[in-house]
Structure 1
Amino acid sequence: MRRIWSSLSQNPSICTSCLVTISQRRHASATAVAIAEDNSTPPQTTHIPPVSEAASPKTAYQLRAGVVLSRPPQITRDLTPFEKSFFLYQRRLNERLALPFTRYFYFKKDTPADVDWKRKIKTRLTPARDIGVYNPYSKEGWHDELLVGDRTSEVESQVEALLKDAEVEAVGDKDAQEQEQVGGGKKEAVERPMPRETEADRKGDVRSLDRKLARTLYLLVKDKTGRWCFPSDRLVGKEILHLAAERIIVQAGGINMNTWVVGNAPVGHYSRPFRTPVVDSAKGIEELGEKVFFMKARILAGQANLKENALELTDFQWLAKEEIEGIVTPEYWSDVKNMLATR
């Protein structure tokens, strides 16, 4: 480049302005010449040999289908203290705003039913039978707050009030005695409602479906390693999840359960790596862990029986959501907790 510049500067046919312009561009021209010289030599390539299959064996995860089998709530949930107080307030407010009760529309005058009605309303002061001793038409009718410790708003107290009101105690004439007596002079017994707490609740029987009637219960099983989990098994061939769930229910809990698998799409999944990879010699695959896809199912009748199960299960329990957290691993719980209903 220096030789070219010296020859150009000694040429009288090139004006001074052109020489200035060429001098400003000489650095770019030198770079272009250097690039051209580099491109003139062929690039050297490095040969990378292909990786053989023997050097990197095939790896995969074990695909499994799981079943979240549940029993839905059988009764309404328990009311909160605020709800109990609010509902009692609404019933007392309705008594204040309603029209006076027309007794003779329902009870004929001077009949045993009328006599029984007059006796009972003198005690409770209001036609309503489950709001305690309260007179909505008196000067103190607006003072309807309960004192501390008053159990009038409790469901058990209201049930007892309704049962007591259902008893017929009017006597005094032949018709009243005939109404009061049923078969051999015995009083007609008032049928009591079934309790919300069952015998299984009192005994703590976690295998029974007759416990926690206001909650959703889920079937948990213990596998041969002692781990608690939902029933699951490997997919067989090209088996779809819905059919696999139906098969797992029968193989795990027997044929005495009337169940229904909801839908064809899983409601969640769980992934767990193995401590040491497992080699499947039949498929030539090294399994790094398991991935379980859970299907939702409901039990309509029957009970689980592990006597002839084909999945090597040793025990089962019907548990509510918060009870499941205490027996499964933290990793398992973090993956399945959002699939479970709070109630």
Structure 2
Amino acid sequence: MSASSRGAALLRSQQRSICLQCRNQTRVLAPAGVTSAPRRFYSAEASATATATATATTTTTLPPPHPPVTTSTGTHAATSTSSQIYRIKSGVILTRPPLLTRDLTPFEESFYFYQKRLNERLTAPFRKDFYFKKDTAADLDWRIKLKERHGVPAKDIGRYNPRGRMAWNDEVLVGSQTSSRKHMVEKLLADAEMRVSEDGEEIPAEDRVPVEKPMPRRTEADEKGDVKRLDRALDKTLYLVVKKKADKEGEEAKWMFPTGVVPTDEGLHETAARILAESAGVNMNTWIVGRVPVAHHVVRPVFGQKDGALLKKGEKIFFLKGRIMAGQADLTDNLHDLVDFKWLTQEELRSTLAEEYFHSVKGMFAER
């Protein structure tokens, strides 16, 4: 750290010590004709510049003090605070997560099918003697099915020989259904049927025991369009929405998430759990994921055009995320004038909810 200048110390010693308040009073009370003492300049050029500036400027006056703050009673901004014109509400976005993986795109189906054929080319040949004892029913059944597959051990790669001279041609042609899920399921089910009896005799087609097929991805609720059942759209997330009937104030019936006013002795998560039970009943095994809101929606208050009086309070709604594990919604004897409910996907919510309402909550929706 460098030492201070002796010249600067000398200048500070010659200045008179005065407090800030006294100095301000001296400025204000000084007569108009009295000017401050001239400064000392240590060069002729600086002295000439200062003299010219002092003669050219006129006497300036201090700006007037700030006017006193007055409150206007004619506007709603001064008479009402945010806590007086808004109601704090808590809502719950109850979800049912996907139960199935999503459908593969045509490109993904072709890619995975190509990987299966490539795996057959790279792996060691299949040794049937290790799995099937010679001249047994299982060995005879394997021989019959291997002949139908043209000597290919794999069951779901189509007519492709990974050991032949055309093994390099392992890509699926455009428009081929060989890589589709439906085609693979049919081939695997047909191969799973037992063709040979325990006596070593081939079983006729009409006497074979059919293999139980997997359940379809589309359920009965999907076929009928029943939006109140939870066993629909199994590969997507479902969201519970309720319909509130029109009130006496002229508000129309609308679809929304279960919502209620937050009292002073409850937190947001406590109100959300209570509102869910009061709206959709207690016959559901649910879980509020956390205590932090995942979305919020603001409804502006309504004021009179002439006098600015508050006609209708606004709403600030904070939504918490919930999960349903079992049960079903039941609006019987609900306490919030609800008349209907639906379990909808994200795409269906876009056309059901109001545009501003959907825009406020769309950020918390899952990818599917």
TM over 0.5: yes
Q: CA deviation at 1:90?
A: 0.5
Instruction: Give matches, 1:1-343, under 5 Å.
Output: 25=51, 28=54, 34-35=59-60, 56-58=79-81, 59-125=84-150, 126-171=152-197, 174=199, 187-225=208-246, 226-276=253-303, 288-343=313-368
Q: CA deviation at 1:268?
A: 1.2
- Structure ranking higher in strand proportion: 1
Q: CA deviation at 1:133?
A: 2.1
**What is the identity, as a one-letter code, of the residue corresponding to 2:244?**
D
Question: Aligned partners of 2:69, 2:134: CA distance in 1, in Å?
Answer: 110
Question: Aligned partners of 2:183, 2:353: CA distance in 1, in Å?
Answer: 39
Question: Match for residue 15 of structure 1?
Answer: none
Gaps of 5+ in 1: 1-20, 278-284
Map Cα deviations across residues 82-114 of structure 1 (whole Å, 9 max, x no partner).
110001000011111111110111111111111
Map Cα deviations across residues 227-250 of structure 1 (whole Å, 9 max, x no partner).
111111111223101111110110
**What is the identity, as a one-letter code, of the residue corresponding to 1:228?**
W
> Number of residues paired by the alignment?
304
Question: Match for residue 26 of structure 2?
Answer: none
Distance 1:302 1:27, change over 3 A: closer
Question: Match for residue 9 of structure 1?
Answer: none
CA contact (8 A) 2:140 2:200 kept: no
**What is the identity, as a one-letter code, of the residue corresponding to 2:190?**
K
Question: Aligned partners of 2:66, 2:96: CA distance in 1, in Å?
Answer: 68
CA contact (8 A) 1:60 1:286 kept: no
**What is the identity, as a one-letter code, of the residue corresponding to 1:162?**
L
Question: Aligned partners of 2:68, 2:325: CA distance in 1, in Å?
Answer: 67
Helix, strand or coil at the partner of 1:219: strand
TM-score of the superposed pair, with normalisation by structure 2: 0.74
Map Cα deviations across residues 130-186 of structure 1 (whole Å, 9 max, x no partner).
112221111122222333432111111111111111100114x63668xx79xxxx7
Question: Aligned partners of 1:234, 1:206: CA distance in 2, in Å?
Answer: 28
Q: RMSD between aligned alpha carbons?
A: 3.1
Distance 1:48 1:121, change over 3 A: closer
Helix, strand or coil at the partner of 2:348: helix
CA contact (8 A) 1:62 1:287 kept: no
**What is the identity, as a one-letter code, of the residue corresponding to 1:77?**
R
**What is the identity, as a one-letter code, of the residue corresponding to 1:201?**
D
**What is the identity, as a one-letter code, of the residue corresponding to 1:215?**
K
Percent identity of the aligned residues?
Answer: 47
Question: Aligned partners of 1:45, 1:340: CA distance in 2, in Å?
Answer: 51
**What is the identity, as a one-letter code, of the residue corresponding to 1:213?**
L
CA contact (8 A) 1:96 1:137 kept: yes
Distance 1:203 1:49, change over 3 A: closer
Helix, strand or coil at the partner of 1:314: strand
Distance 1:51 1:118, change over 3 A: same
Question: Aligned partners of 1:321, 1:71: CA distance in 2, in Å?
Answer: 12
Question: Aligned partners of 1:327, 1:295: CA distance in 2, in Å?
Answer: 20
**What is the identity, as a one-letter code, of the residue corresponding to 1:224?**
K
